[in-house]
Each structure stands twice: as C-alpha cells, then as structure tokens.
Amino acid sequence: VDALPPLGGAPAGTPAPGVTTATTAPDDDARIRAVDPAAPHVTVLDLGVTRGDGIFESFGVVEGAVQALEPHLVRLARSATLLDLPALDLDVLRTAVLRSVELHEPLPELLCKLVVTRGVEGATDAHGRPAVTAWVYTDPGADFRRERTEGVDVVTLDRGYRHDVAQTSPWLLQGAKTLSYAVNKAVYREAARRGAQDVVLVSSDGFVLEGPTSTLVARYGDRVVTPATDQGILAGTTQAAAFAWFAAQGLTTAEVQLTVERLREADGLWLLSSGRQSVPIRSLDGTSVPVDDTTTAGLLTHLLGRRS
C-alpha cells in the first residue's frame, strides 16, 4: 500500500487523521496492489524487519464485516504520531483493509492485520518524502471459541515500568501499538511456565495495566471498570464497544487506577481484544475468581454481533 497522502498533501478541507466520515477517493485503488502472500515482498533492509520499528492494527472480521474499523484507524494514527512517523493516508489504508478482507474466502471469523513500518533507512518515495512500508493481510486467526466460554487462567506479571511511564518517558512508546511485540510474546511463554494461559501486566508501582494483547475489564456489582489509558496502555477498541453495551444494560462504566488487591475482589473479570472478543478469567495467580456466566454470554453475543 502506498500509505502516504497523495502528492500535494490532503485536499483542502480534508479533516485531520482520525476522521470517521471520510469517503474513499476513486483513484485510491491505484495505490493498492493485491499480491501473492506466499511470495516475498519486504526487503531485508526494512526497519520494520531489522528493528521492529513500525506500528500495526489487528481488525476482527465477523461474517465479512470489519469491526471497529474507524477506531482502529484512529489508534493507528495515534501510534504513528507517537513514533514520529509521517502522517498516514487513512483513506487508502481503510480501502486496503476492506480489499484484503474481500479477497479472502468468506469464513465466519477472520483477522485482518495492517502493518506500517518506517520503511528502508534513508529511502524516499517518488516525491522525496520518507517512504513508509505498509501492507495488509487477512487470515483465519487463532480459534478462541473454547476460551470464550471456558475462560483462562491468568497470572499477574510486573511490566517493570511505573504507571505514569507515558508521561515521564514518552520515548519508551508505552501506549503505542508498535511492531515490537517480542516482549509481549515472551510474557505468554512466562505465563505457560507458570501454568497459565494469559497475563495481566502490573506496573512497578502496583497498578493493574492490561494483557499483553488485550484489555482488562472488571465488574464490581453494577459498576464496570477498566484501567485508565493514561497509564501507558492501549485504548482497546473492543473494550470501548463492551462499555457501550454495559451502559445499555444500565451498568456504570469508568476508567480507573486498580490495584492487584482490588482486582481480586471483582465479581467478574474479562480480557478483551479484536480477535478473541471477550474471554472470562477463571483464576488469578492460582486462585479461582468468580466467573459471571450471564454477563460473559451476553457480552460475547454483543461483541460478535458487531457489523461495523
């Protein structure tokens, strides 16, 4: 995908990145190429490959509909800003996502991944601008059906940063969805060594953050909370959709600071993300926690039912 705005910048009157109503210019398609995913396309000199220097988004696709398309694009633009990447053309990226999904054989659920890297060091595009590399691919993703109903055992692990790391040290890029997920994956291997399937990361000063690839949501009676995103964590698109559903059920919702001790007192805990949708937590650090089956079923039905 040619992910930079067309030569001359965005047309006058075009809103800033993150716009939710933009239409796709007819010639956008010329900037997108469908290629054989089995053939090589990325050079070994690409900074996304050599340094993990780039950003990505994973879109859930249910019955052919890309879920939370605009919130994902907004978050991609925010990640690009945090990494000082060039401003991206979200219209062409949106079109590329939709084309990629269209090109896949229809399945009940798919996962679509959009990647943008800093490109090859020193390389510029035809107009002399730093050239990013961008691609989109769609595949069936992992099968989460069992976890969605049976739940997961979770351990808490120290992320090693204070909860205010995004304010004190923005160069650590906490809160950006960067390609550097080697640590996030190492966290899962540590969970497996401890006999668990998933993790809740905790700040070095004792606040609950997020999963390595998910947002944590906790219910206390008729109040549902999630860790506030100013603690160097991602704003979850699935969590946002879940909170809209919880509010429609008459529950109150809030972004909070949560200690591990308080986490253990919850009436229900879930990990949310685009691919898995929602998964209940059934144990925390080896101790069973209540599983709220009714809310689990209602939430999952709502999240899977999203068609935009």
- Does the protein bind ligand PLP through residue 110 (CB under 6 A)? no
- Does the protein bind ligand PLP through residue 147 (CB under 6 A)? no
Structural contact between residues 112 and 66, judged by C-beta atoms closer than 8 angstroms: yes
Task: Name the residue nearer to ligand PLP (CB basis): 117 or 214.
Answer: 214
- Does the protein bind ligand PLP through residue 272 (CB under 6 A)? yes
3-state SS class at 303 = helix
- Does the protein bind ligand PLP through residue 198 (CB under 6 A)? no
Cα gap 273→135, rounded to integer Å: 21
- Tell which residue, 38, 306, 52, 48, has the closest CA to residue 184: 52
Q: 100-123 in b/e burial notation, b at 16+ Cβ within 10 A? A: bbeebeeeebbbbbbbbbbbbeee
Candidate residues 28, 46, 198, 210; the one interacting with ligand PLP per rule CB under 6 A: 210
Structural contact between residues 56 and 116, judged by C-beta atoms closer than 8 angstroms: yes
- Residues contacting ligand PLP: total by CB under 6 A: 13
Structural contact between residues 235 and 176, judged by C-beta atoms closer than 8 angstroms: no
Binders of ligand PLP among 35-74, rule CB under 6 A? 58
Q: Are strands 277-284 and 152-158 parallel, antiparallel or unpaired?
A: parallel
Residue 156 backbone phi and psi in degrees, to 5 = -90, 135
Binders of ligand PLP among 229-258, rule CB under 6 A? 234, 236-239
CB of 177 to ligand PLP, least distance (A): 6
CB of 157 to ligand PLP, least distance (A): 13
Task: Name the residue nearer to ligand PLP (CB basis): 81 or 229.
Answer: 229
3-state SS class at 198 = strand
- Does the protein bind ligand PLP through residue 295 (CB under 6 A)? no
Task: Name the residue nearer to ligand PLP (CB basis): 4 or 245.
Answer: 245
Task: Name the residue nearer to ligand PLP (CB basis): 60 or 151.
Answer: 60
40-48, 139-147, 167-175, 210-218 -> range binding ligand PLP (CB under 6 A): 210-218
Residues that bind ligand PLP (CB under 6 A): 58, 210, 213-215, 234, 236-239, 272-274
